[in-house]
Amino acid sequence: MAMTGVLRPGHVQIRVFDLEESARFYRDVMGLVETGRDDQGRVYFKCWDERDHNSYIIRQAEEAGIDFFGFKVLNAATLDKLEADLNEYGIATTRMPAGDMLETGERVRFTLPT
């Protein structure tokens, strides 16, 4: 297997109809640990044994679904290479600044071609 610097799935953000009801469900029924809330109304969760701040994020919306999912990368050079490869393939990217989400570094956002 080739080493690409893409380490593993990192997090997912989903849209929910009722933020507080959903937060209670993921915390009290599923057993996720709530790790924070931000000024954009997002609630952050992780499993009890995770080292990272979060891996599951919810936000209230009028339509349920997935906003995005992200992968953890080795370092900034990996992120730069991934972005260059995506652009070379013809996929537009947008740099998301560090701190846009709680405890999350810089990200490259793109839309899957499918």
pTM above 0.85, yes or no: no
Q: What share of the chain is helix, strand, coil (3-state, %, to 5)?
A: 20, 35, 40
Ordered structural domains, the chain, with CATH: 9-70 (3.10.180.10), 73-113 (no CATH)
Task: Using DSSP bridges, classify how beta strands 43-46 and 33-37 pair: parallel, antiparallel or unpaired.
Answer: antiparallel
Summarize pLDDT for 51-99 with one digit per residue, the tens: 989 999 999 999 999 998 888 899 999 999 989 999 999 999 999 888 7
Summarize pLDDT for 21-48 with one digit per residue, the tens: 999 999 999 999 999 999 999 999 999 9
- Which residue type sits at 89? Y
CB atoms within 10 A of CB 2: 3
32 and 26 Cβ atoms separated by less than 8 Å = yes
103 vs 81, more confident:
81
Q: Hey, what are 20's tokens?
A: 């507080």
- Which residue type sits at 60? Q
- Rounded Cα distance between 10 and 71, Å, is 4
